[in-house]
Structure 1
Amino acid sequence: MTDNPRLSNYDLREEIKAYWSARAATFDQSPGHEIFSDAERAAWHRLVVKHLGRGNGRSALDLASGTGVVSHLMDDLGFKVTGLDWAEPMLERARNKAKIRTRNITFRMADAENTMEPDDHYDAIINRHLVWTLVDPASAFVEWLRVLKPGGTLLVIDGDFVNTTMFERALMTLAGWGQRCRLLKRDPLNAPPGMMETHRNIISRIYFSNGARAETVARLLAAAGFENIVIDIDLSEIHHTQARHWNILKGLARATQHRYAIRADKPF
């Protein structure tokens, strides 16, 4: 017996859900979440088209869709989009955004690791900054393979947000000092005060607590049954457009991070 038993995955998932529900109110205020320029939107479009092509009415599933940012990108490109998220506050904002922009996007509450979607249903699956937060990525990848049509394609956009280089840490330290001294512009508020400790606690217990490296994610995708796996680390155009909304040091620090897109196909 122990006085501090390890929390079960069910408990961890509930904590993650509660965390992102709380984050919903300020999620769209942060560069890197919402899109704030036509140049960035165009850069995202080019990345998606590079790996998935244009939609032409094909069906796409946006997993952990949040406030619908990626769903709108896919809709722009002609996909018929369904977004799944398990945080109701995120879904409320996503539905409202789609209504304001008169977009025909379906948003439903569901767990990205257990979608409850039909077999062989979607031409494409996309997610952004989801994989590194998964509790059980191996099972999730098998689930995503199941709901893709034969020949369908998965596009993962993610990064290692745990490990940092000495150079990145130095830049972030200088950026913090510059903001406190009012020499650099402050970052937009992207999380309610006091939530960073909750975030660190959750990250310490997920599968990729040591960082989601592209090669590791690719190996897990292959083990799940995906093929034709391609790792793309050239996201510089997107990073450049986002950097304009941070101070120069924060922008440089972001550019040093291990970020990537991974394309993988379901066999016919």
Structure 2
Amino acid sequence: MQGHNHGLRDEIKDYWSRRAETFDQSPGHEIFSEDERQAWHALLLKHLGHGDERRALDLASGTGVISHLMDDLGYRVTGIDWSEAMLERARAKAKARGRAISFFVGDAERTMEASDTYDVVVNRHLVWTLVDPEACFREWFRVLKPGGRLLVVDGDFVNVGRAERAARQLATWLERAGILKTDPMHAPPELAQQHKSILARVHFSKGARADAVADLLKKAGFDPVAIDSNLRGIHRSQAKNWNYFKALARGLQHRYAIVAVKPE
């Protein structure tokens, strides 16, 4: 099993490294409007508060989108990712924007950070890719200071309801008919099969439902753990980047934020 997990983790690393070149071109990844930036700020402030120079660790930071949002709010941010290709873009953006954000290669499951170091740990669209979420959650618990907060932003991208499926099918038909514009490609087509293969083998291969993630966080020692399913502000601001039916389908997905506290 360990050999299987090691191979899968390498494959996930390779996949995201290959995605790096076009990652920021996808709506839902980079921030494309001030409205979206403000919606993200509102979510972060709601669950984490202002930075006030507190230390924040952005796990699987990618090109640094969430790191920059945290920096906006006054956090001292460290971003780690195991894709050097992603980090090259993250560092370039930070330099261009004059941001003092530290980015380095690291593993979300074994951060190599000291215990009780960070006031906040945050990640976006990481949990659904995890091979061993229980080990990861214990690690995140360890690096947080007592009273520190974890914010997970994720979703179930596997289970597709009837309404979402119908909206997607209609969007595809109307695009092919030339009635609707073709939306930006979320990922290069040649990587679709690799993504499908990876998804079939991760822990949440049946979908990362919020309650299942919350239960594992409680098992790791977090208390309290709360689920926030109201991401409508972010969705509304992002919806402008898709045609009507694609935006409708995305809005029907099971997306959520989970805030979890390390007890004092």
TM-score bracket relative to the smaller structure = over 0.9
**How far off is 1:265 after superposition?**
0.5
Other-structure match for 2:179: 183
Match of 2:130 among 130, 134, 138: 134
User: 1:157 aligned to 2:168?
Assistant: no
Sequence identity percentage? 62
**How far off is 1:192 after superposition?**
2.2
Following the alignment from structure 2 to structure 1, what is the Cα–Cα distance between the partners of residues 171 and 15? 26
User: 1:26 aligned to 2:27?
Assistant: no
* Mapping for residues 49-128 of structure 1, pairs under 5 Å: 49-128=45-124
Other-structure match for 1:257: 253
- Name the amino acid aligned to 1:148: L
**How far off is 1:145 after superposition?**
0.4
SS at match of 2:153: strand
Other-structure match for 1:212: 208
SS at match of 1:264: strand
Mean alpha-carbon deviation: is it higher for 26-35 or for 181-190? 181-190
SS at match of 1:227: coil
**How far off is 1:187 after superposition?**
1.9
Following the alignment from structure 2 to structure 1, what is the Cα–Cα distance between the partners of residues 51 and 182? 38
Cα contact 1:26–1:189 (8 A) shared by 2 = no
Following the alignment from structure 1 to structure 2, what is the Cα–Cα distance between the partners of residues 6 and 221? 23
Cα contact 1:62–1:83 (8 A) shared by 2 = yes
Q: Return structure 1 stretches of 4+ with deviation > 6 angstroms.
A: none
The superposition leaves residues 236-257 of structure 1 with CA deviations (integer Å, 9 ceiling, x where unpaired) of 0100110000000000001101
Cα contact 1:62–1:71 (8 A) shared by 2 = yes
The superposition leaves residues 199-223 of structure 1 with CA deviations (integer Å, 9 ceiling, x where unpaired) of 0000000000000110000000000
User: 1:10 aligned to 2:6?
Assistant: yes
SS at match of 2:80: strand
Unmatched tracts of structure 2, length 5 or more: none
The RMSD of aligned alpha carbons is 1.2
SS at match of 1:215: helix
Unmatched tracts of structure 1, length 5 or more: none
Q: What TM-score does the superposition give when structure 1 sets the normalisation length? A: 0.97
Cα contact 1:64–1:84 (8 A) shared by 2 = yes
**How far off is 1:179 after superposition?**
1.6
- Name the amino acid aligned to 2:189: P
Following the alignment from structure 2 to structure 1, what is the Cα–Cα distance between the partners of residues 164 and 246? 9
Following the alignment from structure 1 to structure 2, what is the Cα–Cα distance between the partners of residues 125 and 83? 10
User: 1:232 aligned to 2:228?
Assistant: yes
Q: What TM-score does the superposition give when structure 2 sets the normalisation length? A: 0.98
SS at match of 1:205: coil
**How far off is 1:6 after superposition?**
10
Following the alignment from structure 1 to structure 2, what is the Cα–Cα distance between the partners of residues 239 and 159? 13
SS at match of 2:185: coil
Cα contact 1:23–1:190 (8 A) shared by 2 = no
